[in-house]
Amino acid sequence: MSGLDKRVGSYEEALDGLQDGMTVLAGGFGLCGIPENLIKEIRRRGVRDLTVVSNNCGVDGFGLGVLLEDRQIRKMVASYVGENALFEQQLLSGELEVELTPQGSLAEKLRAGGAGIPAFFTATGYGTPVAEGKEAREINGRHYILEPAITGDFAIVKGWKADHFGNVVYRHTAQNFNPVVATAGRITVVEVEEIVEPGELDPTQIHTPGIYVDRLICGSFEKRIEKRTLRA
């Protein structure tokens, strides 16, 4: 990797510097658009006591769920617990610290973190357990709570195509949380299905500009489906 070329040669190099106790932001929604190979590399490295921020925690045996199996996650910040029995089990037993966050608030916390905004007021969660311990304010007759932004040591992202400079395009709904996660990491690592030459991507179609991307790797993906529905 040199100059503006963000490509790295291995997943080990892609996550170089990841250590125990760090905060990892992960793109994806369910199993759609998850950085599955970067998650496997986190598991291989055996780092522990991680705080992981993601919409959910994969499923049993796949995605972020494999990090729960190896007890590598200390705290999970997410908006959804379903589809993962081990996640639910560790939450209820107190083994795993979980900060449940409304989905829109989670997206905005990541976006704000990437934009350098330390906190913001939102009406979502006011008057519920989500608001406990948070500053509340009435603005124009409506009640709001102050939500802190989120940033992380590493952001792991799944894209569709990218060029050498790290300009990334996502495919359809696999975009989901990936763009906001990409902006909020101190080190942002993106894995994609195809890396093309600079100039091949239409500039108007780029979702994440390369300025946000530190490392880029091309991989192959299982793309497992959570619930397959077929016609009778």
Please check whether residue 124 lies inside any domain of the structure: no
Structural domains counted in the chain:
1
pLDDT in tens, 155-177: 999 999 999 999 999 999 999 99
Please check whether residue 39 lies inside any domain of the structure: yes
Please check whether residue 86 lies inside any domain of the structure: yes
The pTM assigned to this predicted structure is: 0.95
Rg (the chain; Cα; Å): 18
Tokens of 95: 């083994």
Please check whether residue 158 lies inside any domain of the structure: yes
**Cα 52 to Cα 46: distance, rounded to the nearest angstrom:** 14
Torsional sign, CA 62, 67, 71, 74: negative
**Cα 170 to Cα 189: distance, rounded to the nearest angstrom:** 14
- Closest Cα partner for 23 from 134, 123, 113? 113
For residue 190, give every residue at least 6 positions away whose Cβ sits within 8 Å of its Cβ, in sequence order, or none. Answer: 6, 35, 157, 158, 159, 162, 166, 168, 182, 208, 213, 215, 216, 217
For residue 205, the enclosing domain spans 11-116+150-218
pLDDT-derived band at 1 (thresholds 50, 70, 90) equals: very low
pLDDT in tens, 61-88: 999 999 999 999 999 999 988 788 999 9
Please check whether residue 224 lies inside any domain of the structure: no
Domain of 22, CATH number, reads 3.40.1080.10
